[in-house]
Amino acid sequence: MTNRAELSRKEILDHARAGPEIVFYIGRHGATWQNAEAGVSADRERSWSNAPILQEGAEEARKSAIRLKTEGIGVIYCSDLVRSCQTAEIIGDILGIEPKSSTKLRPWNMGSLTNKLQSQADPIIAAYAKKKPDMAVPEGESFNDFKRRAFRGVAEAVGNYPDKTVLLVTHLRIDSLLRAWQAAGQPISHGIDVDAFLKRGDAPGSFRVFKTHLPLLWGELDDKLTHAEAHYRRGYEPQFCRTCEYSNHMSKPTCGLVNDISPAGWCRLWEADA
C-alpha cells in the first residue's frame, strides 16, 4: 500500500477530487427584525443574537419548503440559534423531516458589534477579515476561528449522511464563506476570496445548491497541509518539516524556523515541499 507521504501533492489533490461529487443545499434563515429586507428597520449585525423570525420570515420558509419538495432532501441541519431553528422546523414540517442542530453552524460571533447598524459594522468586519483574521472581535471570535469552526460544522453535517441530500439552514456568513471558497477554487487549505466573502449575500430565506468533494470540504488529508497551501514561507528543512504545529489551544500558528507566518492557514506536520 502506498504511503501518502510517498505521493506528490498533485497526486493527493487529484485523489481528493477523484471521489464522488457531493451535492447539498444551503441557505439562510427567514427574516428577523434585524434584517432590512423585512422592511421594519435598518439592517443590523445579527451575529449570535437570538431574535426570532417574523411572520414574513415564516412565509419565506414555507415558500422555500415548497420549492425544495422535489429535490429529494433527506436531512436538515441548522444552527442552534432561534431564527435558524424556527426556519428549519417550518421547512421540516412540510418535508416531513426533523431538523438536527449544531453550534458549529452559527455565524461569525461579532461580540460587541452585535445589533449595530450594518453600515457601521461592515467596515470594522472587513478590517478584521482582511487585516487581522487571527484577532478576536471584542467579546467575539476571530475570523480564522469562525472559518475553521464553520467548515468543520458543514463537513460534519454533510459527511454524516453521504447517501442523502442534506439541507443546511444557516446564516449569511456561513453561506458567504462557502461562496468565497468557491470563488477561490475550493482549495484544500480553505483559502477564500475575502472580497467575495464581504459581498452582500442572497435575501433571507433563500436556498441554493452547492457542489464539492468531501475531502476538500474537510480541508485536510491525514490532518496535514503543505506550507504552500497554508501560505507559509518555506522553512529551512523543506524535505521533512516538523517544526510547526497548529493547535486549537493556541491563538495562532507558531513555527521555530519560519518568521513570517501568514494567518491564512496552518501546517500540520507535512512536507514543506511536496
Listed in sequence order, the residues at least 6 apart from 103 whose beta carbon sits closer than 8 Å to its beta carbon are 79, 80, 153
CA 234, 235, 240, 244 torsion: positive or negative? negative
What is the rounded distance in angstroms from the CA atom of residue 57 to the CA atom of residue 53?
5
Per-residue pLDDT of the chain (274 residues; tens, 9 = 90+): 344 444 555 666 676 676 788 999 998 888 775 554 544 444 778 888 888 888 888 888 999 999 999 999 999 999 999 999 999 999 999 999 999 999 999 999 999 988 888 888 999 999 999 989 889 999 999 999 999 899 999 999 998 898 999 999 999 899 999 999 999 888 877 888 999 999 887 777 788 999 998 888 887 543 444 444 443 433 333 433 444 443 333 444 444 444 444 444 344 333 333 3
